[in-house]
Amino acid sequence: MSKKLPLLIMILPIAFFMVFLVALPCIYVVIISFMEKGIYGGIEYIFTLENYKLILEPLYLKIFANSFFIALVTTIICLLISYPFACFISQKNKTVQTILITLVILPFLTNSLIRIHGLIILLRDGGIINNFLLNINLIDEPIKFMYNQTGTIIGMVYTLLPFMILPLYSNISKLDANLNDAAKDLGANKFKTFLHVTLPQTKYAILAGSIMVFVPTLSYFFVSDLLGGGKTMMIGNVIKNQFLVARNWPFGAALAISIVLFTLIVVIVYRKMGGKMEQLGGVSYEK
């Protein structure tokens, strides 16, 4: 007993949160997703598959396709921006590296909505970028950066970029430079060295970063709300509306479960390929 007591004291609080605020709520959402909706927005506890059938309607399939498209484009753009960035800062000395990577984290400490507000001031029709371009006569009328798919993608890339940079940097900064020299000595050019030496070593960081960008994109409804202007409906927006506006919780729950299933499949594939779970928490960059 006396041996078990410290264990209980240490483990009970965290277990409480994980059981009552993670496990049970998730199970409850799964149950809701198989229930009928009440007339006044409540939940009728009668089993049905209707909510999942509704997802297969062309309207919602289109929203799914569109969301995955936006998430994919966002992920690719983030990867293309972050990879060279992570490589270049890894070549700096340790002090400069610390400063630069802290600068990447800094925006996190202001709320993402505040940053989106700044982005809107830059991008809107009468915004700074358009005004500047109009003033130097490069364009005749404002470019529509906002209230369309482009706006949503710019907003997602802007909000989620650090999630790609951090795992890539943590991986690339620890690579052994001797391997690159060895490849060069053996006659490989820069491109070949990158393709056969650097890239395979950073495979898991690329995968982890991609998951950390792709999955949130599906759920960041405020970005598509504010920058997409309601024209780009994403799954996140539909779930939010079902829960807070239309009050059809069972359907909202079914949509939520379907993106969770998708996420689980992605994570299982990632693990099967040999990826580490803690890398998905973005924590491995801490030394």
Residues 124-153 that bind other proteins (CB under 8 A): 126-128, 131
Question: How many residues touch other proteins (CB under 8 A)?
Answer: 89
User: What is the pattern of x (binds other proteins, CB under 8 A) and - over residues 64-93?
Assistant: -----------------x--xx--xx-x--
Token reading at 120: 């809107």
Interatomic CA distance for residues 184 and 172, integer angstroms: 18
| Closest by CA position to 253, among listed 30, 54, 22, 20 | 30
Least separation in angstroms between residue 95's CB and other proteins is: 5
Binding residue (CB under 8 A) for other proteins from 222, 241, 246, 247: 222
> For other proteins, which residue of 1, 102, 141, 185 counts as binding (CB under 8 A)?
102
In the DSSP assignment, the letter for residue 248 is: -
Distance in Å, CB of 70 to other proteins, minimum: 14
Write the interaction track for other proteins spanning residues 235-264; mark x where CB under 8 A is met and - where it is not: -x--xx--xx----x--xx--x--xx--xx
Angle value at C-alpha 159, between 157 and 160, nearest 5 degrees: 65
Residues in region 151-210 near other proteins by CB under 8 A: 158, 161-162
Which residues face 36 on adjacent strands?
A: 44
Shortest approach of other proteins to residue 107 CB, angstroms? 6
Residue 60 CA to residue 242 CA, distance in Å, equals: 13
Helix and strand tally (H, E) in the chain?
A: 16, 2
The residue within the footprint of other proteins, chosen from 35, 70, 213, 280 (CB under 8 A), is: 280
Stretch of 48-56, 192-200, 201-209, 211-219 lying at the interface with other proteins (CB under 8 A) = 211-219
CB 166 within 8 A of CB 131: no
Cβ proximity of 217 and 157 under 8 Å? no
